[in-house]
A = this chain, B = another copy of it.
Amino acid sequence: MDKDTIVQKFGGSSVANPERIKAVAERVIGYKNHKCDLVVVVSALGDTTDELIELSAQITDDPPKREMDMLMATGEQISCALLAMAIKSKGHDAISLTGAQVGIKTNRDHTRARIQKIETRRIRKALTKNQIVIVAGFQGVTHDDEITTLGRGGSDLTAVALSKALGACVCEIYTDVEGIYTTDPRIVKEARKIRQITFDEMLEMTSLGAQVMQSRSIEVARKYNIPLHVRSSFCEEDGTMIVKETDKMEEVVVRGVACNKQEAKITICAVPDKPGVAARIFTEISKAGVNVDTIVQNVSHTRLTDISFTVPKNSLTQALATTQTIAKKIGAGEVLHDKNIARVSIVGTGMRSHHGIAAKMFQALAENKINIEMITTSEISISCIIDQQSADMAVRTLHKTFKLEQV
């Protein structure tokens, strides 16, 4: 029978320096001794990526994307060579491969290329020789040998895509946290590590503010049903399994509480309440390259209405300028903004089959005199926009209300 294949990915902090690389080598060899085939994806050493970006910034403000990929891809090439050396020096055979050598074929969209195909011939050949295969994450190659990179979180994507291509039984994501928590442990000391979470919940948590993995990799894992194991590279304990369906699917209603303080709110007052107005506003804002999140339009009593929406704080200046221009054009009133907001959300697939969760959430906030400014819901989450000063209290309140310290 074929051996199981495991894909492991180690992030930049896990391979930040030679000492840590040697520790990763020990760990990888320990796994290899469990009689599975092992493919290890590495990010660039700690600060390498920033150093390379700084080098290019000293050359030009606007580096061509193709050359940027040529430059950035060296970071992972360095770390995979060093890890292969470390493993071999500890007595186990290993081989490092660049994205091009593996045959991670992408389109030509430099700096954020999409994987089109992964060849497995070379990796399988190495695995047959009982070598541990170390793959440079974050990079690929076009059909005409151009080096590409996959954009933010690209090494996670390399790991997940390789897991699919090789039929791996699990994809382990090693990071500097011990797993996914019911909420941020810095805010709620009772926060617990979640043993299992569904892809849907994880995607929702991520889009609502959790920052452990990029959505793109989770989406690919969900699409091909590849179990992800998010765990710490600094301890042996199990982390969080991200899976299609969890064991206690029916029992748990709310899996976690997310909080995002990186948004700002814009309100256009006295908008003429005519068909097509909202479309016109958000088409213009979208053209300006700003991502809009929650949108709320109040019911109109007169022919005028207020429209509020949130944008990332770092897009506020541009969003405001665009909004002010369009407000004038459509004959609306004042444009207000508020940077002092937070989004507090509860997430759980159990919500699909449970009622009264929203009411319970609003009630808990009200009891703590927290005013809700905007509300949005998805099938498996409810978010409230509140005053930023109340955010931490709201998270603690909701964590307790839904008994997350007991799960």
Contact = CB atoms under 8 A, between A and B. Distances in A.
Interface of A: 18-19, 21-22, 52, 55-56, 58-60, 62-64, 66-68, 70-71, 73-74, 77-78, 80-82, 84-86, 88-89, 95-96, 98, 100-101, 145-147
A59 B96 contact: no
B84 A64 contact: yes
A67 B52 contact: no
15 contacts: A18-B55, A55-B78, A56-B85, A59-B82, A60-B88, A60-B89, A62-B89, A67-B96, A68-B85, A70-B80, A70-B81, A71-B77, A71-B81, A73-B77, A100-B145
Contacts of A73: 77
Nearest to A93: B64
* Copies of this chain per assembly: 2
Contacts of A84: 64, 67, 70
Nearest to A70: B81
A37 B346 CA distance: 63
A68 B82 CA distance: 8
A29 B85 CA distance: 41
Contacts of A55: 18, 78, 82
A64 B88 contact: yes
B74 A78 contact: yes
A85 B63 contact: yes
A103 to B, nearest CB: 9
Contact of A101 (B64, B80, B145): B145
Contact of A77 (B62, B66, B70): B70
A77 B89 CA distance: 26
Contact of A22 (B22, B59, B70, B146): B59
Contacts of A22: 59
Contacts of A74: 74, 77-78
Contact of A59 (B56, B77, B85): B85
Contacts of A82: 55-56, 59, 67, 71
A60 B85 contact: yes
B67 A85 contact: yes
Nearest to A72: B81
Contacts of A95: 66
A108 to B, nearest CB: 14
Nearest to A77: B74
Q: Which of A56, A85, A88, A145 has the most CB of B within 10 A?
A: A85
Nearest to A145: B101
Given A18-B59, A68-B85, A70-B81, 7 more contacts: A64-B84, A67-B96, A70-B98, A71-B82, A77-B77, A100-B145, A101-B147
A164 to B, nearest CB: 23
Contacts of A77: 70-71, 73-74, 77
Contacts of A67: 81-82, 84-85, 88, 96
A58 B98 CA distance: 22
A81 B146 CA distance: 13
Contacts of A59: 18, 21-22, 82, 85-86, 89
